[in-house]
Amino acid sequence: MTLQELLTSLTRDLHAAGTDAPALEARLLAGHVLHLDRIGLMLAMPSPVADDAAAAIRALTARRCAGEPLAHITGRREFFGRDFEVSPQTLIPRPETELLLEIVLRECEGHRDVRFADLGTGTGCIGITLALELPHSRGLLLEYSAGALPVAARNIRSLQAADRLALVRGDMFTPPLLPQGLDVLVSNPPYIAAAEEDEVMAEVLHHEPHSALFSEQDGLRHLHAVIRSGQQALKPGGLIAMEHGYRQGEAVRRLLMEAGYGAPRTEQDLAGLDRCTWARRD
């Protein structure tokens, strides 16, 4: 069987299972097993696929058809143009989170020697991206999960950001941050309320860590903790930026104003939904 014939069969199976992008996912799974990029796959289309390789690709496709996230199967996910390791112990990086990076990079334009912290770093995708996009910055990445910490550590090393990042195990409710030591505090904390569980995709609910998804107090408990941390850790004029649920923009702005931050602003993702709110410490 040629690669083209195999991909046609896999695409049909994935389509029947209701995956989002069957043809793309078939190519990604085949590329993962065959160690081929997009160009390599195109060139290999007329060539036969070895039986053992075809069996391995079909086995991965069966896992995907059963609802396992593609990122967990391949162990990789692209974020902001870079390749990150992921695992079932970490939240899978999502395109909408890139808005959070865009806000921070925009607001830090022209600034050097930025000091930042990323609370609840998971894979490290936010903090590592900031360090690489802001070449003179230094950051602290905080994560409580013992399972997520080694994933973040490997991503820091593989993306060559170890010289400017410190990875620390800690609780975002009592983070080890010095008073007024930060220019930027950023976080994508758990923010789904228990009452919203029925709205969560089954693929996410069954495969991603609930500790990275759900928060008490109508989904606001961790967001409030980040805001409190910023009160102590941010320099005057320092930036706080957080991702949150599409219903939470108003509540997050209220919490920021109550905590003394100036003029909080909520920005929308590509779907037009409230996704990130930021403000500056007065």
| Average pLDDT score over residue span 78-106 | 96
One-letter amino acid for residue 173 of the chain:
F
Nearest-CA neighbor of 238 among 278, 276, 183? 183
Please tell me whether residues 85 and 32 are part of one structural domain.
no
Position 218 scores a pLDDT of 95
Q: How many domains does the chain have?
A: 2
Please tell me whether residues 37 and 9 are part of one structural domain.
yes
Examine residue 52 and state whether it is found in any structural domain, yes or no.
Answer: yes
Q: Are 188 and 220 in contact (CB under 8 A)?
A: no
Position 110 scores a pLDDT of 86
Each residue of 239-276: pLDDT tens digit? 999 999 999 999 999 999 999 999 999 999 999 999 99
Is 124 annotated to bind ligand? yes
Assigned token pair, 104: 């921070």
Examine residue 240 and state whether it is found in any structural domain, yes or no.
Answer: yes
In terms of residue numbers, what domain contains 103? 76-281
Is 174 annotated to bind ligand? no
Q: How many CB atoms lie within 10 A of CB 140?
A: 24
Please tell me whether residues 61 and 104 are part of one structural domain.
no
Examine residue 71 and state whether it is found in any structural domain, yes or no.
Answer: no
User: What mean pLDDT value characterizes the chain?
Assistant: 96
Is 175 annotated to bind ligand? no
Please tell me whether residues 34 and 102 are part of one structural domain.
no
Is the pLDDT reported for residue 225 higher than 90?
yes
Please tell me whether residues 14 and 87 are part of one structural domain.
no
Is 155 annotated to bind ligand? no
Is 46 annotated to bind ligand? no
Q: Where among 23, 45, 66 does a domain terminate?
A: 66
| Average pLDDT score over residue span 166-191 | 96
Please tell me whether residues 107 and 186 are part of one structural domain.
yes
Is 69 annotated to bind ligand? no
pLDDT-based confidence at residue 63 (cuts at 50, 70, 90): very high
Nearest-CA neighbor of 274 among 100, 59, 43, 78? 100
| Average pLDDT score over residue span 177-205 | 95
Please tell me whether residues 88 and 126 are part of one structural domain.
yes
Q: Where among 66, 95, 116 does a domain terminate?
A: 66
Q: Where among 21, 46, 66 does a domain terminate?
A: 66
Is the pLDDT reported for residue 111 higher than 90?
no
Please tell me whether residues 154 and 105 are part of one structural domain.
yes
Please tell me whether residues 117 and 194 are part of one structural domain.
yes
The bridge status of strand 234-243 relative to strand 182-187 is parallel
Is 127 annotated to bind ligand? no
| Average pLDDT score over residue span 48-55 | 96
Is 90 annotated to bind ligand? no
Q: Are 161 and 131 in contact (CB under 8 A)?
A: yes
Examine residue 80 and state whether it is found in any structural domain, yes or no.
Answer: yes
Q: What is the CATH number of the domain that holds 174?
A: 3.40.50.150
Please tell me whether residues 61 and 124 are part of one structural domain.
no
Examine residue 89 and state whether it is found in any structural domain, yes or no.
Answer: yes
| Average pLDDT score over residue span 222-238 | 97
Whether the full predicted model's pTM is greater than 0.85, yes or no, is: yes
Position 282 scores a pLDDT of 87
Q: Are 262 and 277 in contact (CB under 8 A)?
A: no
Position 20 scores a pLDDT of 87
Please tell me whether residues 107 and 233 are part of one structural domain.
yes
Please tell me whether residues 102 and 241 are part of one structural domain.
yes
